[in-house]
Chains A and B, each alone.
Chain A
Amino acid sequence: MLAKRIIPCLDVSAGRVVKGVNFVELRDAGDPVEVARRYDEQGADEITFLDITASSDDRDIILHVVEQVAEQVFIPLTVGGGVRTVADVRRLLNAGADKVSINTAAVTNPDIVAEASGKVGSQCIVVAIDAKQTAPGKWEVFTHGGRRNTGLDAIDWARRIEALGAGEILLTSMDRDGTKNGFDLGLTRAISDAVRIPIIASGGVGTLEHLAQGVSEGRADAVLAASIFHFGQHTVQEAKAFMRERGIEVRL
């Protein structure tokens, strides 16, 4: 049976991991290559890097990070953040990324999804959806870190990007992101049921129970988390052992 995936996410700025890392091991805190290796050793199924570099001068640094990680870590690598053009997608893939996540650019110019998936294949194109609940059973797509409402219905948008050639959806609840209160399971399930492509649930994980719920109740194909792994609260192994106890298929 296909395993549900657990994906640690690293926020990277100017070549350093910026959400703190397992501070017990100070020697490699902040080095994306070291952190990625550790997650690989723990059995992470994929690793996602979100480039949150503010200065455009430092944009190319992520390419060097990806190159170094790809030489040492042989699981799928997804990179997102600031991807605006098909040329950006190509640069990241050539550096060693396996998938590239497109967020705001997909909203402002949906053709980029079709163009990129046509050029490099749907399997390389993840579209990130940041959604907020606006009414019971209704969620809308936001950009700019949840500050700007696009007015797009999240379910309609998910169907549209699937039709345009997205290979996967990285779905983040902006209501839950950073709260540690668990995924927005209603949102996750609504989107997962609406499309045929895999869904990565994101935003709000504070416990291992939350990860399991994302799969069992949210019907996500993969679950993404940052802080519960970074701060040494749990290892990926612990997360997998917990999910297996709940009857969820995982790669141990």
Chain B
Amino acid sequence: MTDVAVIDYGMGNLRSVEKAIVHVAGGAAVRVTDDPEVVMRAERVVFPGQGAMPDCMAEMEARGLHQAVVAAAATKPFLGICIGQQMLFEHSEEGDVAGLGIFAGQVRRFPEAKMVDAAGQRLKVPHMGWNEVWHHGEHPLWRDIPDGDRFYFVHSYYVDPADAAVTAAHTDYGLRFTSAVARDNIFAVQFHPEKSARAGLQLLTNFMHWTP
């Protein structure tokens, strides 16, 4: 029995995600897998992602993981990370590619025109580094994480949900964007909890204890 399946579709590096989850898992079985059967049988599912979303979608489809991901997102405690959050949406401006459509809305690139800070200095893209995450209401995954705590980000695109009610947190970078979404058994974040020191490990711990 796999307690936590970390979905591997061949993109980017999942070692950091695996190590961070093992660190907080308290002996639970953690498996990095591209096997749809293992995903289907897992108690909890983590859906990470790095790189470009069109490549991620293509690799996921090529491995026959589409159905397993959709099924897991419908039933199990499900944590999307970075591109794993973006892929849950309908469509991305990156490569004009369709996502899984589990959340209504778009994935957009940081608009050049807004990439200026309060002092008039140009903001870099990718948005890379530690930024503040401001909660929208209570959620079990925010337990023991102060509102406005910093998490580690690295991305050039962000999600823009059609339904504002799914936004679980926002972050400011040139504009205000949704940095976490939540609905039922799904929680998904733009930042990297596995690289976010104490705050990130707390969020992963909360995920391991979450019973939606």
Task: Give the nearest-CB partner of A199 in chain B.
Answer: B124
Interface of B: prevailing SS: mixed
The answer to whether the Cβ of A94 comes within 8 Å of any Cβ in the partner chain is yes
**Which residues from 168 to 193 on chain B have a C-beta closer than 8 Å to any C-beta of chain A?**
172-173
The answer to whether the Cβ of A51 comes within 8 Å of any Cβ in the partner chain is no
The answer to whether the Cβ of A156 comes within 8 Å of any Cβ in the partner chain is no
- In angstroms, Cα B14 to Cα A93, docked, is 9
User: What's the minimum C-beta distance from B158 to chain A, rounded to whole angstroms?
Assistant: 13
Select A196's contact among B16, B124, B195, B200, beta carbons within 8 Å: B124
- In angstroms, Cα B50 to Cα A33, docked, is 26
A168-B23 in contact (CB<8A): no
A222-B129 in contact (CB<8A): yes
**Contacts A74-B195, A75-B197: A121 and B12 contacting too (C-beta < 8 A)?**
yes
A221-B129 in contact (CB<8A): yes
List chain B residues, Cβ under 8 A from A96: 15-16, 19
Q: Say which size band chain B's interface belongs to.
A: 35 or more
List chain A residues, Cβ under 8 A from B126: 122-123, 167, 197-198
Q: Report the tally of A-B residue pairs with Cβ distances under 8 A.
A: 94
- In angstroms, Cα B19 to Cα A213, docked, is 36
List chain B residues, Cβ under 8 A from A75: 152, 195-197
List chain A residues, Cβ under 8 A from B132: 1
User: What's the minimum C-beta distance from A44 to chain B, rounded to whole angstroms?
Assistant: 9
Most buried by B among A4, A121, A221: A121
14 A–B contacts from the bound complex (CB under 8 Å): A1-B132, A3-B129, A3-B130, A4-B129, A45-B129, A74-B23, A75-B195, A96-B16, A121-B50, A123-B128, A123-B154, A221-B124, A221-B129, A222-B129
A5-B129, A96-B16 known; 12 new pairs, CB 8 Å cut-off, are A2-B123, A2-B129, A2-B131, A2-B173, A98-B13, A98-B16, A98-B195, A122-B126, A123-B50, A124-B50, A196-B122, A221-B128
Binding site for A on B (CB under 8 A): 11-13, 15-16, 19-20, 23, 50-52, 117, 121-132, 150, 152-155, 172-173, 194-197, 200-201
4 closest pairs, A vs B, by CB? Answer: A121-B51, A93-B13, A251-B130, A3-B130
